[in-house]
Amino acid sequence: MTSSPARPVLDRTFSVAPMMDWTTRDYRAFARTLTKRALLYTEMVTTGAILYGSPRERFLGYDAVEHPLALQLGGSDAGELAECAAIAEAWGYDEVNLNVGCPSDRVQNNLIGACLMAYPQKVAEAVKAMQAAVSIPVTVKCRIGIDDQDEDADLERFITTVADAGCEIFTVHARKAWLAGLSPKQNRDVPPLNYARVQRLKARHPALHIGINGGLKTLDDCAAELERVDSVMVGREAYQNPWLLADVDRRLYGVANPVAERMQAALALRPYIEQRLAEGARLNHVTRHTLGLFQGCPGGRQFRRHLSENSHREGAGLSIFDDALGRVKTPTAA
């Protein structure tokens, strides 16, 4: 079990979205070289994985540097979710979040993710049970609707039902999820964004914390949305262009950024890479998350190529990462 410092008071002004295969513990440690204040989320972890998987470290392990850190759960059984929330709190997580937004077939078949938007009472019961089991915040991430649901009436019914059960914090992906006819990948792009709907939700429920997610690509976008909602959550852009995170602390929290140059962030990650290699992790599992760091910089393409071609090799060590950094021409600040 990972030991952790005293839990911080959560300021969720800016967070990085939970993304399967992307927001692993290694990505989150890398993100912390760029921002100390953003709230980070795990990939979705199902209740079954936590309750029956072994070892639990595989699903719940993290490094203390990752705080503030939220665990996103996938499930629909109130008792199992409550048990997993209690486990998350015992492991030191700062928040537990219920996934009501993932559109994949696999989770639909297990009544997990976006399909739960059709069952607001079931979500309400789950949230109530989770809150009774823990003292940390229990939050919900959802869509503005699914399939032919009415984005106004059905979203209002969902939010009101779950809020009445005690949930005060919602992050809303400002797209519908089409469970019939679109793939999970298409569901991230094809349904149109409707920021205005999330903004109206906040206006109608001033006492609730309403955050927005979906399509945000710049900190200017984030700042504009923060004038109308309580928080912003950025997904793919924070992964593919991680340098976006490097000005979050100054711009959105009013404190100094941890690094001024990209090379500083890469060098700050070296001790973590060394630690993970000593634990038996493969180099490519850690460094794949850094491939976008030098995007647009002289030598950035060579950095990516060297890591991509060599980090997966048997016995690849820290020298491969250092060699890749040597391909970057100058430590670029922008």
- Which burial class, exposed, middle or buried, applies to 54 when counting CB atoms under 10 A from its CB (0-12, 13-18, 19+)? exposed
Compute the average pLDDT of residues 272-294: 97
Mean of all residue pLDDT scores within the chain: 94
Catalytic residue list contains 102: yes
At 332, is the pLDDT very low, low, confident or very high (cuts 50, 70, 90)? Answer: very low
Helix (H), strand (E), coil (C) string for the chain: CCCCCCCCCCCCCEEECCCCCCCCHHHHHHHCCCCCCCEEEEEEEEHHHHHHCCCCHHHHCCCHHHCCEEEEEECCCHHHHHHHHHHHHHCCCCEEEEEECCCCHHHHHCCCHHHHHHCHHHHHHHHHHHHHHCCCCEEEEEEEEECCCCCCHHHHHHHHHHHHCCCCEEEEEEEEECCCCCCHHHHCCCCCCCHHHHHHHHHHCCCCEEEEECCCCCHHHHHHHCCCCCEEEECHHHHHCHHHHHHHHHHHHCCCCCCCCHHHHHHHHHHHHHHHHHCCCCHHHHHHHHCCCCCCCCCHHHHHHHHHHHCCCCCCCHHHHHHHHHCCCCCCCC
Residue 30 in contact with residue 290, Cβ under 8 Å? Answer: yes
Q: Which residue has the higher pLDDT, 299 or 109?
A: 299
**Predicted confidence (pLDDT) per residue in 2-44, tens digit:** 544 555 579 999 999 999 999 999 999 999 999 999 999 999 9
**Predicted confidence (pLDDT) per residue in 144-196, tens digit:** 999 999 999 999 999 999 999 999 999 999 999 998 877 877 877 778 899 99
% of the chain surpassing 90 pLDDT: 87
What's the pLDDT at 106?
65
Compute the average pLDDT of residues 223-228: 98
% of the chain surpassing 70 pLDDT: 94
Position 133 pLDDT exceeds 70: yes
Half-sphere exposure of 100 (CA within 13 A, CB side): 32
Position 334 pLDDT exceeds 60: no
Which residues, including other chains, have CB under 8 Å from residue 243's CB and lie 6 or more apart?
34, 262, 292, 293, 295
What's the pLDDT at 225?
98
Q: Which member of 102, 142, 167, 222 is catalytic?
A: 102
At 1, is the pLDDT very low, low, confident or very high (cuts 50, 70, 90)? Answer: very low
Position 333 pLDDT exceeds 70: no
**Predicted confidence (pLDDT) per residue in 302-317, tens digit:** 999 999 999 999 999 9
What's the pLDDT at 104?
76
At 330, is the pLDDT very low, low, confident or very high (cuts 50, 70, 90)? Answer: low
Position 261 pLDDT exceeds 50: yes
At 107, is the pLDDT very low, low, confident or very high (cuts 50, 70, 90)? Answer: low
